[in-house]
Amino acid sequence: MTLATSQDEQTLIQAGFHALSDSLRIQVLELLRSQEYCVCDLCEKLAVSQSKLSFHLKTLKEAGLINPRQAGRWIYYSLNISRLKVLEGYLSQYSRIITTLPARPCLD
């Protein structure tokens, strides 16, 4: 069973999991679950500087996990649900494998 079907999909999955490997980026995603936020509001809620947050937002944006929207001089961010569904679909394939694998004895 092949879990990732194409090189493009593998690249998306790898970038997505890399983006999820940092606790601050996960906190950003948690905030964006309820609504979109501008950078200044995210900085305030997360108690981080704009320069630090910008680095993490760039990583999330490059992975396609968030969408930027410019409104005047502010940039608002929201979740990219379709990209998160790609990661969810990838992980769900493992649950099917786990249910079909025989239990292995623990060798202590």
**CATH number of the domain to which 59 belongs:** 1.10.10.10
Write the single-letter amino acid at 98: I
Segment 34-87, tens digit of pLDDT:
999 999 999 999 999 999 999 999 999 999 999 999 999 999 999 999 999 999
Residue 98 resides in a domain: no
Residue 70 token pair:
């410019």
- Structural domain contains residue 101: no
| Residue 1: per-residue pLDDT | 43
Total number of domains constituting the chain? 1
Res 14: pLDDT: 92
Residue 103 lies in a domain: no
Q: Is 104 inside a domain boundary?
A: no
Look at residue 98 in the predicted model and tell me its pLDDT.
60
Q: What predicted TM-score, i.e. pTM, was given to this entire model?
A: 0.80
CA pair distance 69, 3, nearest whole angstrom: 33
